[in-house]
């Protein structure tokens, strides 16, 4: 354990040097290769010990100590946390590329665009590392307009999958529920200004195939968390394409119930505009027309046929409480029922 | 003199210069591409990609020819803007070659020892651009998520790319939904757009499954067209860089792109013709590895093109033995692949050979192993008789000039088919060893026709006499079981095999084939047979040729896979001869 901690300390120092020190001007290809090997070693440490609280605590403590002394040597240096270790190679790369002292010959090696054999996922050599990253990113952008046509989109699907996976790890670490909730809150915060994407990511997370019990637990957790965020949930139900909403109602009973309640709420918030002869929504921030609402009810009945009877009974009860008139424009429930049974 | 000097000077300074107009054209393009992210601009980028690569190559040469970055920037003030815009064009940076050239241009502008503020600024800018390219994310939200879930960006982008490829692959594999109604919009419109987007991705290993799916998509709909540009880029990457594609994807590429098919056939031909001393085993392996026989069995259109190339090569090099053995090996491999196909996918053999005499197709394409040995002689006599009639009919009409081209065509096609089915020629040689004077004529005619198809100078009759002579000498040589060799026969044989000043000489390979066959199959002691073979081959200097014939005979006999005691004896003899000959060769 002592040796591991020593290695951890050296790698943390290495990361700081790579980003901050002018020593890198002396680095050659071999040095850089070795540096990446050490970074890779720390990624292994993370995957081995992140769910062993006792070891993790010792390592966190070691990192705190090292960070402290590094901050003395390099003012302004932020240090590495234990969770940073999972992306140690990336941090090393970012640090190096931002260090103006990095020899340009090393840049050339990193950006070498000779096609590399990517079959071997364990890296052997840093040659072309950045070129491959650029290729991957660019290829995603080239293909992205073609894949956005249906479903949540590949990027949201991957993000949702990553989220569920991380949730699984958090939940299995017997972390307190509030901590996991806090984690989801922080994710939500990260998507500030990208609400549409967040809806897609959450939808994708809830729709990932349930390969294991852990994934199922994670999804339930996300669903429960979502119910405590009515504004997020409402935004999802408004923004997501109907086909996706139907997939969600089929997969999650809780989601279905919430969605049904929302539909009824949207209906009850409508009032009849006598001059135009249409039902309009009273709230200004919801663009739900009577036509769209009918469409959503019909889609729901098609996705979950068993719902139709109960739902219609309920709508009928509302209609009766409105006086049970069969005249257009008096009760939204009456007009909705006749539109649904056209 | 001074005028000349100034002209030279002008040439020296102006030659590396990139045309200003051209620079302006590309700068305008780069600006348009970066301003709108519409499908039209994307398509335009893809269409210009190969020309852009040429321009970048020129630009790189230009940069290298300049003494400093300051000088380069002075001559091409918009260079930085141009390169900078290209760096943020995903179509350019996704393509291996464009990206490589673009980065090299940036490196070319980096000054190891900057001498002025401009160069220092350029250096800083280059470092910044490179760093942003490799590490910056479009979405802050995504960056935050990666940080929180602990996934490195490289892994994330790889995952997204693989997911996209899988999604597109699936949607293409679903095929068409419009049931042939031309006016209806259908998912197949997607195929053209996807293939266009794949132009910069042909060498991207992660995109390989998508490229395979595009090539193999079930073409049930008129809208399911693949971009020509995509096919062109793919086929040149395949031939130039040895792009790794799945076998079935290669077959589809050939099916869609004639030029890439031609290139594949020509490269097979070249590799066979240029490599000397290749054994028939190697040849067979080489042919099978080319995947062409398989492609030919699956699509008869591929076979027709391949065969056309073989046909025209053979017309120019009728005596080139390596071309002939390639064609023979190719046909055998093709027939094997054809037999492996499911019956419902098989097309009638005659479809593959529309130009060949119809009556000969099935008898010649039947493999010797598919027929009892006792029937061989009858089969060969019938084949020889039919061919003879066919050829004589055509040659008789030779005087009539209008029909003579058609006649020659028919003769050539018959011979071409015989070359393709060379295994029957080998059977003929084998049967001649066991023949008597009374039943050798038809077989000798077939063998002579195979080696001398054109009857130039109407020499066939004479060649036939010589072939009979050779056969007589061989028979007499091998019939004597003990005692001294009949020297006169030996000498006559050597004379027949040696280059003769007077025309027409008989093909030495015909005689050599007969000699090897006698040595292998005739009931003569191994010692004596070896001696005869060695003596003749040594005196005529035809060791390599004899070795080659022995090799290919061994291979063919292996294919027929008879395990009778006679077959084992034959194999041992071939081995022994090969041993002695290669030994002699080495010494």
Which chain A residues are within 8 Å of B171, Cβ to Cβ?
150
Is residue B4 within 8 angstroms of chain A, CB to CB? no
Query: Is A121's pLDDT higher than 50?
Result: no
Determine which of A63-77, B194-208, B543-557 has the lowest per-residue pLDDT on average: B543-557
Query: Is B4's pLDDT higher than 50?
Result: no
Smallest CA-to-CA distance from B297 within B258, B343, B234 is with B343
A108 and B206 within 8 Å at the Cβ level: the answer is no
pLDDT at B12: 47
* Token reading at A134: 């650029």
User: How far is residue B186's CA from residue B170's CA, in Å, rounded to a whole number?
Assistant: 15
- Condensed to tens digits (0 to 9), the pLDDT of residues B230-264 reads 988 888 888 776 677 788 888 988 988 888 899 88
Smallest CA-to-CA distance from B547 within B522, B582, B517, B509 is with B582
b (16+ CB within 10 A) / e for B201-235: bbbbbbbbbbbbbbbbbebebebbebbebbbebbb
If 0-12 CB within 10 Å is exposed, 13-18 middle and 19+ buried, where does residue B555 land? middle
Q: Give the pLDDT mean for B384-395.
A: 87
- Condensed to tens digits (0 to 9), the pLDDT of residues B19-64 reads 778 889 999 999 999 887 788 888 889 889 989 999 999 999 999 9
pLDDT at B158: 95
* Token reading at A282: 């009273």
Helices and strands in chain B: count of H runs, count of E runs:
31, 0
How many Cβ pairs within 8 Å bridge chains A and B?
180
What residues contact B486, with CB distance under 8 A and at least 6 apart? B476, B477, B480
pLDDT at B83: 96
Smallest CA-to-CA distance from A11 within A45, A49, A57 is with A45
Q: Is B181 helix (H, G, I), strand (E, B) or coil?
A: coil
Q: Is A271 helix (H, G, I), strand (E, B) or coil?
A: strand
User: How far is residue B569's CA from residue B524's CA, in Å, rounded to a whole number?
Assistant: 12
Q: Give the pLDDT mean for A80-104.
A: 94
Is residue A134 within 8 angstroms of chain B, CB to CB? yes
Strand partners, B305: none
Q: Which of B99, B110, B128, B159 is the best residue to mutate to test the A interface, defined by the most A CB atoms within 10 Å of its own CB?
A: B159
Q: Give the pLDDT mean for A318-341.
A: 85
Q: Give the pLDDT mean for B483-508.
A: 77
User: How far is residue A9's CA from residue A21's CA, in Å, rounded to a whole number?
Assistant: 17
pLDDT at A35: 95
Between B161, B171, B193, which is nearest A139 by CB?
Answer: B161
Comparing B127 with A213, which gets the higher pLDDT? B127
pLDDT at B177: 59
Sign of CA dihedral A311, A313, A315, A317: negative
Determine which of A25-34, B299-308, B337-346, B390-399 has the lowest per-residue pLDDT on average: B390-399
Is residue A188 within 8 angstroms of chain B, CB to CB? no
pLDDT band per the 50, 70, 90 thresholds, residue A286: low
What residues contact A55, with CB distance under 8 A and at least 6 apart? A1, A49
Strand partners, A280: A271
Query: SS3 string of B121-147?
Result: HHHHHHHHHHHHHHHCCCCHHHHHHHH
Comparing B65 with B174, which gets the higher pLDDT? B65
Comparing B306 with B570, which gets the higher pLDDT? B306
pLDDT band per the 50, 70, 90 thresholds, residue A211: confident
Comparing A274 with B127, which gets the higher pLDDT? B127
DSSP state of B39: H
Q: Give the pLDDT mean for B468-474.
A: 89
- Condensed to tens digits (0 to 9), the pLDDT of residues B426-454 reads 899 999 988 888 888 999 999 999 988 88
pLDDT band per the 50, 70, 90 thresholds, residue A76: confident
Please tell me the distance in Å from B146's CA to the nearest CA on chain A. 8
pLDDT at A325: 81
- pTM higher than the cut 0.80: no
Determine which of B12-21, B321-330, B351-360, B377-386 has the lowest per-residue pLDDT on average: B12-21
Please tell me the distance in Å from A107's CA to the nearest CA on chain B. 8
Strand partners, A273: A278
Q: Give the pLDDT mean for A184-203.
A: 90
Is residue A131 within 8 angstroms of chain B, CB to CB? yes
Comparing A273 with B123, which gets the higher pLDDT? B123
Q: Give the pLDDT mean for B490-508.
A: 76
Is residue B153 within 8 angstroms of chain A, CB to CB? yes
- CATH architecture for the domain at A268-340: Alpha Horseshoe (1.25)
User: How far is residue B587's CA from residue B583's CA, in Å, rounded to a whole number?
Assistant: 6
A108 and B207 within 8 Å at the Cβ level: the answer is no
Query: Is B566's pLDDT higher than 80?
Result: no
Is residue B164 within 8 angstroms of chain A, CB to CB? yes
Helix axes B321-340 and B401-420, enclosed angle (nearest 10): 70
Q: Is A101 helix (H, G, I), strand (E, B) or coil?
A: coil
- pLDDT, averaged across chain B: 84
DSSP state of B37: -
- pLDDT, averaged across chain A: 88
The full set of domain ranges for chain A reads 148-240, 268-340
B141 and A130 within 8 Å at the Cβ level: the answer is no
pLDDT band per the 50, 70, 90 thresholds, residue B273: confident
Q: Give the pLDDT mean for A147-163.
A: 85
The interface residues of chain B toward chain A in range 65-94, judged by CB-CB distance below 8 A, are 90-94
* Token reading at A303: 């996705």
Please give the share of chain A, as a percent, with pLDDT higher than 90: 51
Which chain B residues are within 8 Å of A136, Cβ to Cβ?
154, 157-158, 161, 206
- Condensed to tens digits (0 to 9), the pLDDT of residues B73-95 reads 988 889 999 999 999 999 999 99
Torsion of CA B158, B162, B167, B169, to 10 degrees: 140
Query: Is A54's pLDDT higher than 50?
Result: yes
Which chain A residues are within 8 Å of B91, Cβ to Cβ?
138, 142
The number of C-alpha atoms within 13 Å of A280 and in the hemisphere containing its C-beta is 10
Please tell me the distance in Å from A88's CA to the nearest CA on chain B. 8
Determine which of A238-247, B139-148, B304-313, B457-466 has the lowest per-residue pLDDT on average: B457-466
Q: Which of A42, A121, A138 is the best residue to mutate to test the B interface, defined by the most B CB atoms within 10 Å of its own CB?
A: A138
Please tell me the distance in Å from A41's CA to the nearest CA on chain B. 15
Comparing B213 with B346, which gets the higher pLDDT? B213
Which chain B residues are within 8 Å of A151, Cβ to Cβ?
167
Query: Is A4's pLDDT higher than 80?
Result: yes
B91 and A135 within 8 Å at the Cβ level: the answer is no
- Condensed to tens digits (0 to 9), the pLDDT of residues B142-189 reads 888 998 888 999 999 999 999 999 999 988 877 665 555 555 556 667
Q: Give the pLDDT mean for A185-193.
A: 89
* Token reading at A1: 């354990």
Between A138, A190, A197, which is nearest B148 by CB?
Answer: A190
User: How far is residue B157's CA from residue B59's CA, in Å, rounded to a whole number?
Assistant: 31
pLDDT at B25: 94
B139 and A194 within 8 Å at the Cβ level: the answer is yes
Q: Give the pLDDT mean for B480-484.
A: 78
pLDDT at A22: 93
Which chain B residues are within 8 Å of A197, Cβ to Cβ?
139, 141
b (16+ CB within 10 A) / e for B352-375: bbeebbeebbeebbbbbeeeeeee
């Amino acid at each position: 354990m002592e040796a591991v901690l020593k290695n951890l300390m050296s790698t943390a120092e290495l990361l700081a040097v790579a980003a901050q020190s002018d020593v890198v001007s002396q680095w050659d290809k071999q040095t850089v290769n070795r540096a990446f090997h050490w970074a890779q070693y720390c990624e292994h440490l993370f995957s081995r010990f992140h769910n062993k609280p006792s070891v993790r605590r010792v390592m966190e403590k070691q990192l705190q100590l090292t960070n402290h002394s590094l901050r003395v040597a390099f003012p302004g240096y932020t240090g590495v946390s234990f969770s940073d270790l999972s992306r140690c190679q990336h941090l090393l790369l970012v640090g190096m590329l931002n260090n103006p002292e990095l020899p340009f010959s090393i840049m050339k090696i990193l950006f070498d665009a000779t096609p590399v054999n990517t079959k071997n996922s364990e890296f052997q050599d840093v040659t072309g590392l950045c070129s491959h990253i650029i290729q991957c990113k660019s290829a995603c952008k080239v293909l992205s307009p073609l894949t956005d046509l249906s479903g949540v989109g590949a990027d949201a699907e991957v993000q949702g999958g990553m989220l569920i996976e991380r949730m699984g790890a958090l939940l299995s670490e017997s972390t307190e529920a509030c901590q996991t909730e806090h984690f989801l809150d922080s994710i939500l915060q990260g998507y500030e200004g990208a609400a549409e994407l967040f809806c897609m990511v959450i939808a994708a997370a809830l729709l990932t195939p349930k390969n294991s019990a852990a994934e199922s637990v994670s999804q339930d957790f996300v669903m429960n968390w979502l119910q405590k965020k009515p504004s997020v949930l409402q935004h999802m139900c408004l923004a997501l394409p109907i086909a996706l909403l139907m997939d969600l109602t089929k997969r999650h009973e809780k989601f279905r119930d919430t969605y049904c309640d929302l539909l009824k709420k949207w209906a009850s918030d409508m009032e009849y505009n006598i001059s135009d002869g249409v039902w309009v929504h009273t709230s200004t921030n919801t663009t739900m027309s009577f036509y769209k609402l009918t469409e959503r009810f019909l889609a729901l009945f098609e996705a979950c046929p068993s719902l139709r009877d109960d739902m219609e009974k309920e709508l009928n009860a509302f209609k009766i409480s409105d006086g049970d008139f069969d005249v257009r424009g008096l009760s939204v429930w009456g007009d909705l029922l006749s539109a649904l049974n056209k | 003199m001074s005028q000349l000097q100034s002209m030279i000077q002008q040439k020296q300074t102006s030659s590396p210069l990139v045309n200003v107009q051209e620079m302006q054209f590309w700068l305008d393009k780069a600006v348009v591409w970066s301003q709108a992210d519409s499908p039209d601009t994307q398509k335009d980028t893809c269409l210009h990609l190969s020309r852009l690569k040429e321009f970048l190559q020129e630009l790189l040469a230009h940069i290298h020819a300049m003494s400093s970055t300051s000088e380069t920037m002075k001559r091409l003030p918009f260079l930085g803007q141009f390169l900078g815009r290209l760096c943020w064009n995903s179509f350019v940076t996704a393509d291996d070659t464009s990206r490589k050239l673009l980065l090299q241009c940036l490196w070319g502008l980096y000054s190891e020892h900057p001498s002025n503020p401009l160069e220092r600024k350029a250096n800083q800018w280059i470092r910044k651009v490179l760093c942003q390219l490799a590490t910056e994310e479009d979405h802050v939200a995504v960056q935050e998520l990666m940080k929180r879930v602990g996934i490195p960006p490289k892994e994330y982008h790889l995952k997204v790319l693989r997911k996209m490829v899988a999604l597109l692959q699936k949607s293409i594999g679903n095929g068409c939904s419009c049931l042939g109604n031309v006016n209806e919009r259908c998912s197949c419109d997607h195929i053209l757009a996807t293939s266009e987007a794949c132009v910069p991705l042909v060498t991207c290993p992660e995109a390989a499954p998508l490229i395979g799916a595009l090539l193999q998509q079930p073409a049930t709909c008129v809208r399911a067209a693949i971009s020509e540009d995509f096919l062109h880029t793919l086929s040149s990457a395949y031939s130039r860089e040895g792009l790794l594609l799945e076998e079935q994807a290669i077959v589809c590429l050939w099916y869609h792109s004639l030029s890439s098919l031609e290139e594949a056939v020509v490269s097979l031909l070249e590799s066979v013709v240029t490599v000397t001393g290749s054994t028939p085993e190697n040849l067979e392996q080489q042919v099978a590895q080319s995947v062409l026989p398989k492609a030919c069995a699956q699509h008869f259109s591929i076979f027709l093109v391949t065969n056309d190339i073989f046909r025209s090569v053979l017309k120019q090099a009728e005596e080139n033995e390596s071309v002939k053995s390639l064609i023979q090996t190719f046909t055998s491999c093709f027939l094997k692949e054809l037999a492996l196909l499911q019956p419902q996918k098989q097309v009638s053999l005659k479809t593959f050979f529309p130009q060949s005499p119809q009556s000969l197709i099935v008898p010649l394409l039947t493999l010797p192993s598919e027929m009892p040995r006792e029937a061989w002689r009858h089969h060969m006599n019938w084949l020889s008789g039919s061919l003879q009639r066919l050829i004589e009919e055509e040659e008789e009409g030779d005087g009539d000039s209008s029909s003579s081209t058609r006649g020659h065509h028919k003769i050539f096609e018959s011979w071409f088919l015989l070359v393709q089915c060379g295994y029957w020629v080998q059977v003929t040689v084998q049967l001649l060893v066991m023949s008597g004077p009374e039943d050798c004529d038809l077989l000798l005619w077939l063998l002579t026709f195979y080696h001398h198809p054109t009857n130039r100078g109407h020499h066939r009759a004479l060649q036939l006499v010589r072939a009979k002579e050779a056969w007589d000498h061989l028979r007499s040589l091998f019939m004597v079981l003990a005692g001294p060799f009949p020297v006169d026969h030996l000498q006559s044989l050597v004379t027949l095999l040696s280059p003769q000043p007077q025309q027409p000489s008989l093909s030495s390979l015909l005689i050599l084939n007969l000699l090897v066959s006698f040595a292998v199959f005739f009931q003569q002691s191994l010692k004596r047979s070896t001696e005869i073979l060695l003596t003749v081959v040594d005196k005529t200097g035809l060791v390599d040729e004899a070795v080659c014939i022995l090799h290919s005979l061994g291979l063919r006999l292996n294919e027929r896979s008879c395990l009778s005691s006679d077959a084992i004896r034959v194999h041992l003899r071939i081995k022994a001869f090969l041993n002695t000959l290669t030994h002699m060769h080495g010494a």
